[in-house]
């Protein structure tokens, strides 16, 4: 459902600023869809092109949200100077209470990303409480996600756990897939909840939500036993987005495992060598095990095994189990044809 909506919003038929735009919601939805699918360049172009139309149409609330999406992209790319500048230029009046609360939450989230949690966390806690009392789901989503990140960065795991649990309940009540996946990632990072992170990864991959999939890979790389595979996948996805901030985080996680991730992807675009998990997977396929049997051996779900096989086919250029087995028996390097 989410994937279908994203396809409609990012297609030529998507409504833009002007008539039929429902107060600027179509533009905002399109930019957010491009953001979550990982097409940050397209999202930035949409924002730059449509912000002018929204401003001249007097759609101030939608414009403020659109600029907040721009701030998310700039923050993800590590361009904090521009992110702060955009926020300063789009500060809504305090009388517009929910718009102002969203703006404050985004501003505080940027500070958390800059590792400036001391002043940001009290603001986020106040906004989280107010959002709960007033039913401001958007504010609640931003504050919970940022608080989990901030508390973990400060090593306050108990506080992070309290917020992560509450975030999961909030996401279920909201019914938003993106909120639910964001809460799942936060829960995984806080509690080492591998099953929840894998569920998020599978759903994100099925829906084509590459930014969320990259976040899930990062979480699994941090807390999972097969971290090298997931950190490599996260690095490759974030690289395509030019997500400098996230690349640094993934590389830091890699260094803690003795990996140098920025050298793991061939600069000419050729697929890299297979990871330990991928080689093990090829061996199990060669031995004739079904997906269900492989799942039992690896202690994964069948869906996770299917996802691994899909990535393996794409990485090697082979299209079936038979081709993988033949290549293995011929002592093929399996680095693509």
Q: Dump pLDDT digits (tens) for 110-168.
A: 999 999 999 999 999 999 999 999 999 999 999 999 999 999 999 999 999 999 999 99
Residue 32 CA to its chain's centroid (Å) = 12
User: What one-character DSSP code corresponds to residue 38?
Assistant: T
Please report which confidence band the pLDDT of residue 52 belongs to, taking 50, 70 and 90 as the band edges: confident
- pLDDT over threshold 80, residue 102: yes
Neighbour tally for 47: CB within 10 Å: 23
Q: Dump pLDDT digits (tens) for 166-213.
A: 999 999 999 999 999 999 999 999 999 998 999 999 899 889 999 999
To the question of pTM greater than 0.75 for the whole model, the response is yes
Tokens of 216: 């899930």
Packing angle of the helix pair 157-174, 177-191 (nearest 10 deg): 160
Please report which confidence band the pLDDT of residue 15 belongs to, taking 50, 70 and 90 as the band edges: very low
How confident is the model at residue 336, as a pLDDT? 47
Q: Which of 4-8, 12-16, 310-314 has the highest mean predicted lDDT (pLDDT)? A: 310-314
Helix (H) or strand (E) run with residue 305 in it: helix 302-316
Please report which confidence band the pLDDT of residue 329 belongs to, taking 50, 70 and 90 as the band edges: low
**What mean pLDDT value characterizes the chain?**
85
Q: Dump pLDDT digits (tens) for 224-271.
A: 777 788 898 899 999 999 999 999 999 999 988 887 776 544 444 445
Neighbour tally for 269: CB within 10 Å: 7
**Burial of 115 from C-beta contacts in 10 A (0-12 / 13-18 / 19+):** exposed
């Amino acid at each position: 459902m989410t994937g279908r909506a994203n396809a409609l919003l990012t297609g030529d038929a998507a409504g833009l600023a002007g008539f039929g735009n429902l107060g600027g919601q179509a533009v905002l939805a399109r930019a957010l869809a491009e953001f979550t699918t990982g097409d940050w360049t397209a999202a930035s172009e949409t924002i730059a092109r449509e912000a002018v139309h929204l401003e001249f149409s007097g759609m101030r609330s939608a414009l403020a949200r659109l600029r907040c999406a721009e701030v998310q992209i700039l923050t993800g790319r590590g361009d904090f100077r521009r992110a702060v500048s955009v926020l300063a230029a789009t500060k809504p009046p305090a009388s517009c209470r929910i718009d102002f609360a969203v703006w404050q939450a985004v501003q505080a989230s940027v500070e958390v990303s800059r590792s400036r949690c001391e002043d940001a966390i009290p603001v986020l806690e106040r906004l989280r409480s107010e959002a709960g009392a007033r039913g401001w789901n958007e504010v609640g989503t931003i504050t919970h996600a940022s608080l989990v990140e901030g508390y973990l960065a400060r090593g306050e795991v108990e506080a992070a756990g309290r917020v992560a649990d509450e975030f999961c309940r909030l996401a279920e009540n909201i019914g938003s897939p993106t909120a639910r996946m964001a809460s799942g990632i936060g829960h995984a990072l806080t509690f080492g909840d591998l099953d929840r992170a894998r569920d998020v990864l599978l759903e994100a991959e099925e829906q084509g939500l590459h930014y969320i999939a990259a976040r899930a890979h990062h979480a699994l790389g941090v807390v999972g036993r097969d971290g090298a595979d997931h950190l490599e996948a996260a690095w490759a996805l974030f690289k395509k987005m030019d997500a400098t901030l996230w690349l640094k985080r993934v590389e830091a996680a890699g260094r803690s495992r003795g990996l140098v991730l920025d050298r793991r992807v061939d600069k000419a675009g050729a697929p890299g060598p297979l990871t330990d998990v991928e080689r093990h997977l090829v061996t199990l396929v060669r031995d004739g095990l079904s997906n269900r049997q492989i799942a039992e051996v690896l202690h994964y779900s069948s869906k996770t095994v299917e996802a691994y096989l899909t990535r393996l086919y794409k990485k090697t250029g082979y299209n079936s189990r038979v081709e993988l087995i033949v290549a293995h028996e011929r002592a093929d390097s399996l680095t693509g044809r």
